[in-house]
Amino acid sequence: MNYVNYEKYTAWMRKIADVKNAIAVLSWDQETYQPSMGADFRGQQISTLSGLAHDLFLNPELEKVLADLQTDTSLTDSQKKNVQLSFDDLKREKKYSTAFVEEISKAISEAYHAWVKARSKNDFKTFEPKLKKLVELKRKEAELLGYENHPYNALLNLYEPLQTVSDTDVLFDDLKKELVPFIKKIAEKKQPKNDFMFGHFPKQNQWQLGIELLKQMNFDFNAGRQDESVHPFTTAFAPTDVRLTTHIEEKNFYTMIWSCLHEGGHGLYEQGLPTSHYGLPGGEAVSLGIHESQSRLWENMVGRSLNYWKGNWKTVQQFFPGKFENLTAVDFYKAINMVEPSLIRIEADELTYHFHVIIRYEIEKLLLDGSLEVADIPAVWNKKYFDYLGVKVPNDAMGCLQDIHWSHGSFGYFPTYTIGSLYAAQFFHFAKKEIAGLDSMIENGDLKPLLEWLRKKIHQHGRLKSAKEISEDICGEPLNVKYFVDYAKEKFGN
C-alpha cells in the first residue's frame, strides 16, 4: 500500500520535471538559436509551462501523498530523504501567494528593462526607483519565507541551503584579512609578459581546442553538446542531455579556454547526477555553491595549473602555428595567472575576484536589513572598491550597474560564487591526498581518476547529502577558508 504511494509520488515528480526540463530546452534555445522575432511567443510559452509546473506541484493530492509518506516507516533512507526534501520544497513554495508571484515578476521585468537602459545611458537614477521597488519586495519575500537572525538568511538559503549570514561573515572576514596584504605584495612585483595572449586566434581553431579539452576532462558528448552564446552557461534536461555554451573572441585568448573548463565542470556535475532519481531531490544539484565548486575546480585548480599546461602545451602550439613558438608552458602559466585589481567582476583573476563578491554581499545585506537606501548604492559601491581593491570607479556602468543579478531579483546569489571557490580548494586538497600521483595524472591528461573521485564523493548524492555533509565526509570539517588561502599562497607566492 505504502509502496503505491511512493510510486505515485515519484511519477508525479517526474511529470513536473518533464515540464521544467521542457522549459529548460526553450530557455536554452532562446540563448543560442532562436531568431529575434521569436522572443514574444517564446516568453508566453515559457510562462504557460511555468504556470503548469507550479500548479502540478501545488496540487493538494500531491501534498496528501507526501504527508502520508512522511509517517511511512517502510521507506528506505534515501526514499525518506527524497520525501522530506520534496515536502520542505512544497511548504516553501506555498508561502508565495499568486498575487505576490505576479507582483514580483512584474517588478523584475520592469527592473530588468530599466537596468538595460540605465547601463547603456550610464545613469543609475534610471534604475533606482525600479530597484527600490524590487528591494522592498525582496524584504517582503524574506518575511514570507521566515528566517532567524537576519532577513538575508531567507534569500541566501534559496541558493545555498543551511548557509547563514554569520557563517558567511566569518568566512569572508577571514578571507579579506588574508588577501588584502597578499594582493598588495603581489602588486609590488614585476608583472609577467602576456602580449602573446592578444592577436588573432581563428575562431574555428579555438572552438576545436575547446572541444578537445572538454573531451580530455571526460565530458560525455553522447550525453551533451556545446554551442555558442553571448554569456556562457550550462543547463541540463537530464543527466543524459547536458548543454554547455561558450563564447569566443578571436583577438583575446583569455576568453574561451577557461569558460569551456568552467562550464565543463558544471556539465560534469550534471552528467554525474543519478538518472535513477530523475525528478526527485536525489537527482538535483545540492546547492549553487557546490555547483560552482565543480566549475571552479576544473577551471582553476586543474585548468590554471602548471602541470595541466605542461601536458597540453604541444596541443596549444599545434592549434595556433607560430603563435607560441618561442614560449614555454611556464610563460603561458604565468600569463594566465596574473593578479591585478580591476573594476569588472567577470574579468577578475582568481584572487581579486572575491572582493567583487564580498562587496556585493555586504551591500545586499545592508539593503535587506534596511540600513542602506538604494539611492546610496553608487557611493557605497565606489568607496568599497577603493578601500578593498584600490581602484577608482569612473562611472556606474563600470560600477554598480555591471551585473544583471539585481535586476533579476537575485539577492543572496553572489556569495555562492566565493563559497564555491572555497569549496573547490578544499575538495581539491583532499583529492590530491587521496588520489596518488594526481599531479602527474593531470600532466599526462589522465583526468578520469579525478572525475571518478568527484562522482563518488559529490555528484552521485544529488541533494540526498547536504553541502555541509559532503564537506564533513570529504574533509572532516565544514567549509574552511584555510584551504583556499594555502592554495593561493603556494601558487601566487611563487
HEC string of 179-195 equals: HHHHHHHHHHCCCCCCH
Cell numbers standing for residue 198: 592578444
Least distance from C-beta 266 to Zn ion, angstroms?
Answer: 6
Q: Which is nearer to Zn ion, 295 or 300 (CB)?
A: 295
Least spacing, CB of residue 248 vs Zn ion, in Å: 18
Q: What is the closest distance, in whole angstroms, from the C-beta atom of residue 233 to Zn ion in the complex?
A: 8
Work out how close the CB of 262 gets to Zn ion at its nearest, in angstroms, rounded to a whole number.
6
Residue the block writes with cell 551533451: 224
Distance of closest approach, residue 295 Cβ to Zn ion, in angstroms: 4
**Do you know the residue count of the chain?**
494
CB of 355 to Zn ion, least distance (A): 18
| Gap between the Cα atoms of 461 and 466, Å rounded | 9
Q: Is 263 designated active site?
A: yes
Distance between first and last Cα of the chain: 65
Q: Cα separations (Å) of 395 from 94, 369, 487?
A: 42, 27, 34
> Quick one: 287 or 295, whose CB is closer to Zn ion?
295
What is d(CA 37, CA 260) in angstroms, rounded to the nearest whole number?
29
Contacting positions for Zn ion (CB under 5 A)? 295
Nearer to Zn ion, 353 or 406 (CB): 353
Task: Report the residue number whose CB is nearest to Zn ion.
Answer: 295
At 410, give phi and psi (nearest 5°). -85, 80
Candidates 263, 270, 299, 443; catalytic one: 263
Question: Toward Zn ion, which CB reaches closer, 9 or 233?
Answer: 233
Fill in the amino acid letter for 25. Answer: V
What proportions of the chain, in percent to the nearest 5, are helix, strand and coil?
70, 5, 30
- Contact residues for 174 (Cβ-Cβ < 8 A; gap 6+): 481, 485
Helix (H) or strand (E) holding 230: none
Q: Cβ–Cβ contacts within 10 Å for residue 105, how many? A: 13
How far apart (Å, rounded) are the C-alpha atoms in residues 308 and 291? 22
Q: How far is the CB of 423 from Zn ion (least distance, A)?
A: 12
The three-state secondary structure class of 228 is strand
Q: How far is the CB of 263 from Zn ion (least distance, A)?
A: 7
Are the C-beta atoms of residues 302 and 442 closer than 8 Å to each other?
A: yes
Burial class (CB in 10 A: 0-12, 13-18, 19+), 66: buried
Nearer to Zn ion, 75 or 273 (CB): 273
| b/e map 274-300, b = 16+ CB within 10 Å | beebbbbbbbbbbbbbbbbbbbbbbbb
Q: Which backbone phi and psi does 339 adopt, to 5 degrees?
A: -115, 125
d(CA 412, CA 33): 31
Closest to Zn ion by CB, 9 or 427: 427
Report yes or no: 426 and 152 within 8 Å, Cβ to Cβ.
Answer: no
β 241-246/234-238 pair status: antiparallel
> What is the rounded CA–CA span in Å between residue 441 and residue 424?
18
Output the smallest distance, CB 231 to Zn ion, in A.
11
Please give the Cα distance from 154 to 272 (Å, whole number).
29
Task: Indicate which residues carry an active-site annotation.
Answer: 263
